[in-house]
Chains A and B, each alone.
Chain A
Amino acid sequence: MEEILEILEKNSRISDEEIALMLNMDADEVRSIREKLEKENIILAYNTIINWEKTKKETVTALIEVKVTPQRGQGFDKVAERIYKFPEVKSCYLMSGDFDLTVIVEGKSMKEVALFVAQKLAPLESVLSTSTHFVLKKYKAEGTIFEEKEQDDREAVIL
């Protein structure tokens, strides 16, 4: 099961048949394990990592440190939920240390992100303060390096 996850984490487009071949299993068996993993919310989504900078679409990413007051009986979860439900929010983590939540926001422009912080995030009752950092360049995300792929520079035949 763990090895199925290891394979899918690297390439979510791979077919059940191919996984079955790699692991010496039955394709039906792989399918039923995969579906079970989906049902149990262990596999959440089959996403694609895109370098938007190479496309015409403009995007801006910001990392926002947020301090909040936890709510009685619900801790941070309820506050976090108020925040992560906004579709602009791509990731949201509870942190140890100086602030409480890391919120990663994507927008079309810096202005759009700034407006989101000013109009949606900061005014929330339990948000005490925000500190916004814009991403200037992405080197690596989700384990994938953004620069050009390495060339295979090995000799043609090695015995």
Chain B
Amino acid sequence: MPGEIIIQADHIDKFFGTFKALDDVSLTVRQGERVVVCGPSGSGKSTLIRCFNGLENHDAGRLTVEGVELHEGSPKIRELRQNVGMVFQQFNLFPHLTVLENLTIGPMKVRKLSRRAAEETARKYLDRVHIPEQADKKPGQLSGGQQQRVAIARSLCMEPRVMLFDEPTSALDPEMIGEVLDVMVELAQSGMTMVVVTHEMGFARKVADTMVFMEQGRIVETSPPETFFTNPESARARLFLDQILEH
């Protein structure tokens, strides 16, 4: 893949106390690439992508995102976060603000855009996630699927260069998973660079360029989806796939 490098992790470790949550992890994500990360619970998937926007600090190794080397207290971290969108499992919308305000507060306060410019962008992305009519509601009045789409739009309003997703559909009722995945597929088709932690293997097959399988803080396997789904290199990944594809 010829694209420019967006995220470069070299041998990073992360400890919580004495517990090693990331163990010698190396990964490269290039412009326009879609990486899907999967693995059993507690394997360090969230920890890894939270390192990518500095919500966690790694303890050893080198991590470079958008050309900025991250370390604890890095002064460039705020600038970097404007270019790295993040979507959380629990949505984390701002409950005291309307949907529109959720989308404009970042551009207005952080990027110092005018209200008009910010609202214009916000409406564009509300259209993109197919809920233009919900602009004036509070998040609490929306369904889970709608809330997660607002959260995606909130990130997009900052015009990020890469989007991180941490199990974006795990907190949703089954009938709402589809509408969120559809939005993510469209985003992938528009050329966005994405790192997605998910167990939705149908989605992974459709959009992934690279599959990453983690276990116990390590990346056990990195392979293209054709290989990963038909003939994974590691026995662990094969076992994991058998388990989740059974349902």
Q: Do A and B bind each other?
A: no
Binding site for A on B (CB under 8 A): none
Binding site for B on A (CB under 8 A): none
